[in-house]
Amino acid sequence: MQRRTSRGFSHVETWVFDLDNTLYPHHLNLWQQVDERIRAYIADFLKISHDEAFRMQKDYYRRYGTTLRGLMIEHGLDPDAYLEFVHRIDHSPLEPNPALGAALEKLPGRKLILTNGTRRHAEAVMRRLNIHEQFEDVFDIVAAALEPKPALNTYRRFLSRHAVEPGRAAMFEDLARNLEVPHALGMTTVLVVPDGEREVVREDWELEGREAGHIDHVTANLVDFIERLTAELRL
């Protein structure tokens, strides 16, 4: 489980999880629905073609952390209408995951979600997976004052809101760039990567970074990783 001189977990009291493509498998491509609705919203909002909307969407996502942030800064977008529209998706591809629920239940300490999505979306995902009872709370994009990960201010707001000591916390996330600040703050970091045998819809840069110095651990199987981690903590 150890990589290089990676940080361990014996000191961890708070477990922080990203939501999309972290708590459920990448290959379900649930976020692709959101992706398509973002593109449709941009095309209608700016009266441009879907091809132009696609280029703008991906450019803003990479530069600003979320397309929403880019649209707010560059075009004065009203975030409420946007968030309500883009997260109105079909969550039925998600099924209950009793193995994940059992693994999370055995983790000693608090469990929190830190997501660039909305609380409503997070709660829908957790209930479909039947893991909602395992988490104390959700810190969403609204709680972050609409400033997404990987912004330092977002992590500071999160840590302050939930009284989390970063040196006693671990974070699980599917984007390597979103773990750089948590690692710098003292958190143990875990990068959740796609199962190599499954087809996923991701941009190349989203799959990079697993060898970066701020990544302590990498796993393609979250349940297995947590189960092995819990077993080690009990030794």
Residue 204 shares a structural domain with residue 159: yes
User: In percent, how much of the chain has pLDDT > 90?
Assistant: 82
Range of the domain at 77: 30-86
Residue 110 shares a structural domain with residue 195: yes
Instruction: Point out which residues pair with 14 in neighbouring strands.
Output: 110, 169
Report the mean per-residue pLDDT for the chain: 91
Count of structural domains within the chain: 2
**For position 45, which CATH number holds?**
1.10.150.450
Q: Of 38, 63, 86, which residue is a domain's last? A: 86
> Is residue 3 one of the residues assigned to a domain?
no
> Is residue 2 one of the residues assigned to a domain?
no
Residue 63 has pLDDT above 80, yes or no: yes
Residue 129 shares a structural domain with residue 225: yes
Residue range 149-166, pLDDT digits in tens: 999 999 999 999 999 999
Residue range 5-60, pLDDT digits in tens: 789 999 999 999 999 999 998 778 787 898 999 999 999 999 999 999 999 999 99
Entry pTM: 0.89
